[in-house]
Structure 1
């Protein structure tokens, strides 16, 4: 690869990396917001369906009020949302590169 080819591909690569980073962060934020809405709807769903699964899930996530465990659960859910976002961005990138 010549110096000219390397110089011309560097800005494209940088732009692509920045775009993928912004997309990943954006998708992560959307997934976290959706997760929050889903968790908020669990009690309503239990009431409508007559189940207690949502309450059990929320009770488990509450970790019996132990702040350290609650923080670890929240961090784990955020990491999970981030990993899902990475996969979604990669799949989107592959779909866009086909066209």
Structure 2
């Protein structure tokens, strides 16, 4: 006799989900902080190398000072960090299951 109601989630599954969520959020924040730090280092990199790559990247991200475009660029960069964090957590989970 099978019931149509799904089984309740065991405590271990809830714990694993909570850990993965916290890890994803923490990794996303860390990636954003690292990206911001990397962007602030671009002028120094140009100074050391004598190039203009850092300046070009910063000009691209500034999108001519248009606030709405800057917001879209910021949102896109945060989403990239989030997607990388999700992928990293999933990869770590697979590696931990194998061991």
Number of the residue aligned with 2:74: 74
Number of the residue aligned with 2:23: 23
> How far did 1:13 drift?
1.1
Q: How many residues align?
A: 95
**Structure (1 or 2) with the greater helix fraction:** 1
Secondary structure of the corresponding residue to residue 10 of structure 2: helix
Number of the residue aligned with 1:83: 83
Q: Which runs of 5+ in 2 are unaligned?
A: none
- TM-score when normalising by structure 2: 0.90
Following superposition, which runs of at least 4 residues in structure 1 exceed 6 angstroms of deviation?
Answer: none
Number of the residue aligned with 2:53: 53
Root-mean-square deviation (Å): 1.6
Q: Which runs of 5+ in 1 are unaligned?
A: none
Number of the residue aligned with 1:13: 13
Secondary structure of the corresponding residue to residue 41 of structure 2: helix
